[in-house]
Amino acid sequence: MPRTTTIKVPTETHARLLEIASEDDQTMGEIVAQLVKKYDRERFWQKVAEDLERFKADKAAYQQYMDEFHEWDAFTTESLANEPPYFTDGEEI
> What pLDDT is recorded for position 72?
84
Structural domain boundaries enclosing 21: 11-80
Q: Which residues of the chain have pLDDT under 50?
A: none
> What pLDDT is recorded for position 85?
73
Closest CA to 35 of 67, 91, 26: 26
Which one-letter DSSP state was computed for residue 81? T
Cα–Cα distance between 82 and 2 in angstroms, integer?
53
In a domain, 2, yes or no: no
In a domain, 19, yes or no: yes
In a domain, 90, yes or no: no
In a domain, 26, yes or no: yes
In a domain, 5, yes or no: no
> What pLDDT is recorded for position 11?
97
In a domain, 89, yes or no: no
> What pLDDT is recorded for position 65?
96
pTM of the full predicted structure?
0.66
Cα–Cα distance between 69 and 77 in angstroms, integer?
12
Domain count, the chain: 1
In a domain, 91, yes or no: no
> What pLDDT is recorded for position 28?
96
